[in-house]
Amino acid sequence: MLHADAQARVSLAALDRFCRDILKATGADEATADAATRAMLHGTRHGVDSHGVRLLAHYAAGLTGGRINRTPKVRTLGGFGAVETLDADDGHGALAAYRAMERAVDLAGRFGIGAVAIRNTSHFGPAGAYALEAARQGFIGLAVCNSDSIVRLHDGATRFHGTNPISVGVPAPGQDPWLLDMATSAVPYNRVLLYRSLGTPLPDAVASDLNGIDTPDAAKAEMLAPLGGEFGFKGAGLAGLVEILSAVLTGMRLSADIASMQGPDFSTPRCMGAFVLAIRPEAFVARETFEAGMTRYLEVLRGSAVREQCTVMAPGDREWREAAHREAHGVSLDPATFAAFGELASRYGVELPHAVENGG
């Protein structure tokens, strides 16, 4: 049993079991519990804790409140050649995203490329989970989704885009995939909350006050800045690309029209959109040529000259290293997540995950 007198370390397997049990206890069907848990465990395993198991209480609130359909009937609305549109039936975003990438990979296997737009979905967690699904099957995968407004435009003075993540996974022979998973904001909002709790000044040009003026005071931060600092139009442009693919192309809500993730309304579906893409490399070049190119690229990247006391890494390198450590030693639960787990365990009569013995 977990104890609050120390920062508990829990195995990934125990977290997986706990998340599945809680989600099923809310009334979610097996497919929803599986997809949501897989997505959260992707975040926690790879050190993307903002999109890991800390989301469990949030998802439980959405499932029981009615925001998220506990037994959705995900279905294909239509398509043409290598393109399809999927209706998520207001279900959990991870379920729709995994299903969409599965279809995109199938289409790419037949046509060389496959694109699936998703309608009537919800928060899908870590975008990297879905891009990685394609990469693990030998395809290049892309996943994007817009979200409720919290990021100002470059020189803007109001919340406009969401953090609007972009993820791309690329297979690499004999090693983990190249995996880019990034928000188009300067930092995630959870970083602002951490600095606020610590009373630490924010880095330059990452957050703004109510007037859109950059502030180092986390307590005054009301919106995030787009990626790029003085060149924030680049981050804002990338966020706009995600907005177009996720909302405009699907006929779903723009970031400015999506209800806040934090509520207080957890009964009304958010009518979000998302978009995934899969590419079969050998549709363009011989497989051995593609694999030789990726191998050479990563060798040159990792072996390139570095500044003193610095290290260069390919996208995903940090995450793979963290995943190996957490697989071996478990995961430390932060106090807020620990408290939320306790409340969920009590409410649904589910046993808390046991702490890892001796950190191993």
When pLDDT is cut at 50, 70 and 90, the band that residue 302 belongs to is very high
Tokens 């469990």 belong to residue: 56
Maximum Cα–Cα distance across the chain: 58
144: helix, strand or coil:
strand
Among 125, 123, 86, 95, which residue's Cα sits nearest to residue 251? 86
pLDDT of residue 3: 46
Q: How much is the average pLDDT of 221-249?
A: 95
Contacts 24+ apart (CB under 8 A), 239-243: 239/146, 239/151, 239/161, 239/162, 239/164, 239/184, 239/185, 240/161, 241/144, 241/166, 242/144, 242/145, 242/146, 242/161, 242/164, 242/165, 242/166, 242/184, 243/146, 243/161, 243/164
Please say if the pLDDT value at position 233 is more than 70.
yes
Q: Per-residue b/e over 48-64, b at no fewer than 16 CB within 10 Å?
A: bbbbbbbbbbbbbebbb
Mean pLDDT estimate for the chain: 93
State the first-to-last Cα distance of the chain, in angstroms, to the nearest integer: 16
Pairing verdict, β 166-172 and 175-182: antiparallel
pLDDT digits (tens, 9 = 90+) for 73-96: 999 999 999 999 999 999 999 999
When pLDDT is cut at 50, 70 and 90, the band that residue 6 belongs to is very low
pTM to 2 decimal places: 0.93
pLDDT digits (tens, 9 = 90+) for 90-116: 999 999 999 999 999 999 999 999 999
Q: How much is the average pLDDT of 194-204?
A: 83
Please say if the pLDDT value at position 224 is more than 50.
yes
pLDDT of residue 354: 85
Please say if the pLDDT value at position 359 is more than 80.
no
Task: Give the whole-number percent of the chain exceeding pLDDT 90.
Answer: 85
Please say if the pLDDT value at position 5 is more than 50.
no
pLDDT of residue 7: 57
pLDDT digits (tens, 9 = 90+) for 306-321: 999 999 999 999 999 9
pLDDT of residue 154: 93
Q: Which two tokens stand for residue 102?
A: 């599965």
Among 115, 159, 61, which residue's Cα sits nearest to residue 277? 115
Which residues lie across from 142 on neighbouring strands?
168, 277
Contact 121, 230 (CB under 8 A): no
Beta-carbon-side half-sphere exposure of residue 98 (alpha carbons within 13 Å): 19
Burial of residue 213 (CB within 10 Å: 0-12, 13-18, 19+) is exposed
Give whole-number Cα distances, 181 to 43, 244, 263, 291, 336, in Å: 11, 19, 26, 22, 25
58: helix, strand or coil:
helix
Please say if the pLDDT value at position 357 is more than 70.
no
pLDDT of residue 137: 97
pLDDT digits (tens, 9 = 90+) for 50-66: 899 999 999 999 999 99
pLDDT digits (tens, 9 = 90+) for 114-162: 999 999 999 999 999 999 999 999 999 999 999 999 999 999 999 999 9
Domains of the chain, each with CATH number or no CATH: 1-65+329-360 (1.10.1530.10), 74-184+232-286+312-319 (3.30.1370.60), 186-225 (3.30.60.50)
More confident residue, 247 or 197: 247
